[in-house]
Amino acid sequence: MIIGIVIPLLVLVIGIASAYFLSKQKTEKRKNVVWGITLMLIIAPFFSWLISGLYMTLGTVETTGWATVMAPMILFPIIFC
């Protein structure tokens, strides 16, 4: 159950920190490209995984584990098309 919270949180922190360092002292266009790719590939899917993990762990209605599978489909549907 804790894996649904710890792993996406670690990936988010590492991804945001690496995007910050990659875009540091770059042109505005380069910063936008780096942050756009980071938003699409790291922040959106792993943030939805984090939200579903929190819902699964702390939610009183859904405690079977299906929230970890279903919530990313609702929050980030482009992966599942």
This prediction has a pTM of 0.71
Q: Is the pLDDT of residue 37 over 80?
A: yes
- Residues for the chain: how many in total? 81
Query: Hey, what amino acid is at 9?
Result: L
Whole-angstrom CA distances from 27 to 23, 33, 41, 48 are 8, 10, 21, 30
Stretch 48-70: mean pLDDT, rounded?
Answer: 69
**Between 27 and 60, residue with greater pLDDT:** 27
Can you tell me the mean pLDDT for 4-18?
Answer: 89
Answer whether 27's CB lies under 8 Å from 50's CB: no
What pLDDT is stored for residue 76 in this prediction? 65
Residue 72 has pLDDT above 70, yes or no: no
Q: Report the alpha-carbon distance of residue 62 to residue 58 in Å, rounded.
A: 9
